[in-house]
Amino acid sequence: MSYVEAKYRELLEEIESTRLRIAEFTAELQGIEEALSRLENLPDDAILYERAGHIYIRRTKEETLISLKARRDMLSSLIEELKKKENRAKTELKQLIESVKAGETGA
């Protein structure tokens, strides 16, 4: 396998794995957004429980909101970084294809 073929496959795999991670994080983000929406409608003294492995831990609404908002912000940042990574890989792939085409044309 030539360098160009190896690089082509590597970039395709990178793009695909990045897309999968974006999809996973986006699904989780949607779940968090739904949870936040439901929490906003609960009274401030609502009793909430968070799953921690095989047990549930009692939490306040405020603690839960803070935790979910922090996770939402982190996921949003990760998704943006992954989108940038995907775009860089796409650009590199496009350049690789163009250089191969230019080489074939010049041959």
Query: In what helix (H) or strand (E) does residue 19 lie, and over which residues does it extend?
Result: helix 3-40
28: closest CA among 66, 67, 75? 75
- How far apart are the C-alpha atoms of 87 and 43, rounded to whole Å? 43
Query: In what helix (H) or strand (E) does residue 65 lie, and over which residues does it extend?
Result: helix 61-106
State pTM to two decimals. Answer: 0.85
31: closest CA among 64, 74, 72, 1? 72
Per-residue confidence of the chain (107 residues) as pLDDT tens digits? 788 999 999 999 999 999 999 999 999 999 999 999 999 999 999 999 999 999 999 999 999 999 999 999 999 999 999 999 999 999 999 999 999 888 876 65
| Other C-beta atoms lying within 10 Å of the C-beta of residue 82 | 20
